[in-house]
Structure 1
């Protein structure tokens, strides 16, 4: 298999918004399941992490960062855990929220949007199928496809550093 090196763009273009990918621990029900997910994240087990797309508008006025992600509608429920483990479809949801700044860890700039990233992300999210199936249609697929829609970068998660 050929190895691809990821070289982030140093700055967004004058017309595009900065696009980032970030990762956080997968959510799980409290107790042992959450402890296992936290350990997997701290050990940097790539497939047991939750991926998100962040957009930082290229406005001269400082603005909040918008985070988009795709996850189970109720990620901490026992029913979701059982469905995920059995490979069944579960109801998913695309979320959007705000952050004051881009995270300093486990976050990579992947490029600049080809236009107004917020409008493009809303358009993309309106067409995204929300039935989630881990390994086939999950946060990794959402992140790859939204980044491709915004920047043209293909299969970005395959090229991110894993440490």
Structure 2
């Protein structure tokens, strides 16, 4: 119930935002970016869908901001090896398996839009994410084993919170009061 309240409140939770509770804990975020597609009409379509906020036509990833004074955050995501390949897109659209890859990159700062704080990891979040990613099957099947499943699984592994994207979609689609 407290998890649902975290996403339904327009005000930050005082429990989760105090420095005392955050000390020594890595902050976990979920971010959304436009799907990558082959150049041309397909790319224009997914960019438009992203701009309009079409939830299922976004690429999701997990960002970990270590509690150490380390200046950078780390992004973990799962995507096709070549997301801009036309044949990969066709196969993915028809629920075919495509070769995927788990990526880890660094960021200088946390994005300000389409990025949601979802909790804290009690132990080294980057190490936990590395271990989780090593065991993740890289056979991508859209709708069955894709970036959404990876994001939900990694967030649950880091924070214990289940189905985080479902909660975020309900919150992000909710009209302001």
Q: Under TM normalisation by the shorter chain, which class is it?
A: over 0.9
1:35 alignment partner, one of 33, 40, 44: 44
In the superposition, the TM-score normalised over structure 1's length comes to 0.93
1:10 alignment partner, one of 6, 12, 17: 17
Corresponding residue for residue 115 of structure 1: 123
1:25 alignment partner, one of 25, 30, 34: 34
Corresponding residue for residue 150 of structure 1: 158
> Helix, strand or coil: the match of 1:63?
coil
Within 5 Å, which residues of 2 pair with 1:64-103? Answer: 64-103=72-111
1:62, distance to aligned residue in structure 2 (A):
4.1
Distance 2:71 2:43 in 1: 33
> Helix, strand or coil: the match of 1:145?
helix
Distance 1:84 1:39 in 2: 19
Are 1:124 and 2:120 an aligned pair?
no
List alignment gaps of at least 5 residues for structure 2: none
1:162, distance to aligned residue in structure 2 (A):
2.0
> Helix, strand or coil: the match of 2:79?
strand
1:14, distance to aligned residue in structure 2 (A):
2.0
1:74, distance to aligned residue in structure 2 (A):
0.3
CA RMSD of aligned residues (A): 1.4
Distance 1:145 1:112 in 2: 15
Deviations 1:91-143 (A, max 9, x none): 00000111100000000110000210011001100100100000000000000
Higher helix proportion (structure 1 or 2): 2
> Helix, strand or coil: the match of 2:172?
coil
Distance 1:13 1:62 in 2: 15
Within 5 Å, which residues of 2 pair with 1:43-82? Answer: 43-59=52-68, 61-82=69-90
